[in-house]
A and B are shown apart, each in its own frame.
Chain A
Amino acid sequence: MTPLLSVRDVAKHYGPHIGCADVSFDLYPGEVMGIVGESGSGKSTLLNCLAGHLAPDRGEVVFDTRTEGPRDTVTMSEPERRMLGRTDWAFVHQHARDGLRMGVSAGGNVGERLMAVGQRHYGTIRQTATDWLGRVEIDQNRIDDRPTTFSGGMQQRLQIARNLVTGPRLVFMDEPTGGLDVSVQARLLDLLRGLVRDMGLSAIIVTHDLAVVRLLADRLMVMKSGRVVEQGLTDQVLDDPQHAYSQLLVSSVLQV
């Protein structure tokens, strides 16, 4: 099978400082990859390189495109990359306000990607937005309200709906449950797990919360100081970590 995403030797430096380096992995269709590591370990840098938000210094990020098969997204033209960004890719930010238009109604937020790819029937857009609010458990009566009037959990669910509405094939998530109350986190995780299962989504999820990857990820990469120190099946890595740093990470969580 062709990997959906094939990452080879990706590195990104900030001046002399390593953001991430020597990262290689394959992601197959329907797989969810978790990236864990403490704050500053390079998770967001890597994710942004993969999603085309940052240009890596070196390496390839090969995506299996619908029409032309595997293409290196690092060297493709910016218009092509941005087109992927609003069709086959989705990006869920940690802070909903970075991923939402706060001055636009919930329905407009969900409908934007549809309009961006040429949907020109208001009724269809409205109906699709309504359906999606339902799927992320937001009261459909709130469709004309702005996200500023939503709770943090609702904003995050709205951001997810806005991203998934065009049926992307690959979803990038950066700490999707970060900054939310524990009970709100649990509900969001549940919802995400349902969506991933129902839509057969492929995803890369960055988090420092091992509970998130335990629930969502098939495979895991552990990062430290910009490098991957261990990768494998989630259960294997969490239950029988090989690298000393992974052991530390896992045990510190178990103590909580």
Chain B
Amino acid sequence: MMQDTYNFAYLDEQTKRMIRRAILKGLAIPGYQVPFASREMPMPYGWGTGGVQVSAAVLTPEDRFKVIDQGADDTTNAVSIRSFFERTAGVETTTATEDATVIQTRHRIPEQPLTEDQILVYQVPIPEPLRFLEPRESETRKMHSLEEYGLMHVKLYEDISRHGHIATSYAYPVRVEARYVMDPSPIPKFDNPKLDDNPAIQLFGAGREQRIYALPPYTKVISLDFDDHPFDPSKADQPCGLCGSNESYLDEIIVDDAGNRMFVCSDTDYCEKRQAAGHKGKFAA
């Protein structure tokens, strides 16, 4: 039930307008980090308050809302954000990717291709991809404005020199429309190709760091690499143990007290749909 002590979706209208302005600016300048005045939310920062504020600003009463955390709809984090908006906005919620109009996510992009009718909201812990090598904010801002991105490749160089290949496996940096270098949030690099040319609106919210950035539909998003070490999204070398998918991102889980393991889809909605449609993996019941 919606509680009437709050404005729709918790934030007051003026705050939502301020956030929407930041979102629109972000959409107008794809990949550019727009500062915004992040509000206190009734949850800790680690819980994706940036994403929650962006969701609050874009949700309408007609929306159907889905929350995923590492691909799953049923983690504590996902459940509490979903129930937060059930309570404060009274919107319908769903676990089915294709039924959702707004999807808030941490660490994954759904396997099911998104459509023009959907908005994907990412929770972002550290929005600045250059932070790793250049801690000074004044300097990173200048580097973005002057397109001085040599440092990003220094990071990849360090990876190769240490590990023999680009070992960065999540939060893998991308170049947006040949302009801004962007941190796609800690999604696995497996998901990076889905950022590119995506029909959905993709919005990124960093609460503690007070930044919003965005990818409008069908934006060109390229993962950084070297000519002789091209970007490799690295597909799993085995199918999902439950639904047999060869296409999806897999998590390793321990299945019994003997420590036996199996690999299953991290996107639980995708996996359950496939099982319901009769696909079976090696370990399917």
Contacts and interface: CB of A to CB of B under 8 A. Distances in A.
Interface of A: 78-79, 82, 86, 101, 103-105, 107-108, 111-113, 115-117, 120-123, 125-126, 143-144
B229 interface: yes
Given A82-B148, A104-B133, A120-B153, 7 more contacts: A105-B162, A107-B161, A115-B151, A115-B157, A117-B150, A121-B226, A121-B228
A122 B146 contact: no
Contacts of B161: 105, 107-108, 126, 143-144
A101 B228 CA distance: 25
Nearest to A113: B150
Contacts of A78: 146
Contacts of B229: 122
Most chain A CB within 10 A, of B146, B150, B160, B162, is at B150
B158 interface: yes
B227 interface: yes
B150 A101 contact: no
B154 interface: yes
A108 B146 contact: no
Contacts of A104: 133, 154, 158
Interface of B: 133, 146, 148, 150-151, 153-154, 157-158, 160-162, 226-229
Given A113-B150, A115-B150, A108 B228 contact: no
A22 B243 CA distance: 79
A125 B146 contact: no
A123 B146 CA distance: 27
A86 B151 CA distance: 12
B227 A79 contact: no
Most chain B CB within 10 A, of A101, A105, A115, is at A115
A103 B160 CA distance: 16
A105 to B, nearest CB: 6
Contacts of B146: 78-79, 82
Given A122-B229, A144-B162, A103 B133 contact: yes
Nearest to A143: B161
Contacts of A125: 157
Contacts of B228: 121-123
Nearest to A101: B133
Given A121-B227, A122-B229, A115 B154 contact: yes
A78 B158 CA distance: 29
10 contacts: A79-B146, A104-B154, A112-B151, A115-B150, A115-B151, A116-B148, A117-B150, A121-B226, A122-B227, A126-B161
A107 B229 CA distance: 17
A184 B74 CA distance: 63
B15 to A, nearest CB: 35
Nearest to A144: B161
A141 B154 CA distance: 19
B150 A120 contact: no
Contacts of A144: 161-162
A125 B158 CA distance: 12
B174 to A, nearest CB: 15
B255 to A, nearest CB: 40
B16 to A, nearest CB: 37
- 4 smallest CB-CB distances across A and B, nearest first, come from A116-B150, A115-B153, A122-B226, A115-B150
A165 to B, nearest CB: 12
Contacts of A122: 157, 160, 226-229
Contacts of A126: 161
Nearest to B166: A122
Contacts of B162: 105, 144
B135 to A, nearest CB: 10
A115 B226 CA distance: 10
Contact of A107 (B153, B157, B227): B157
A123 B151 CA distance: 17
B167 to A, nearest CB: 13
A78 B151 CA distance: 19
A102 to B, nearest CB: 11
B158 A108 contact: yes
Nearest to A112: B154
A73 to B, nearest CB: 16
A94 to B, nearest CB: 20
Most chain B CB within 10 A, of A86, A108, A123, is at A108
A144 B146 CA distance: 29
A174 B95 CA distance: 63
Most chain B CB within 10 A, of A101, A107, A113, A120, is at A120
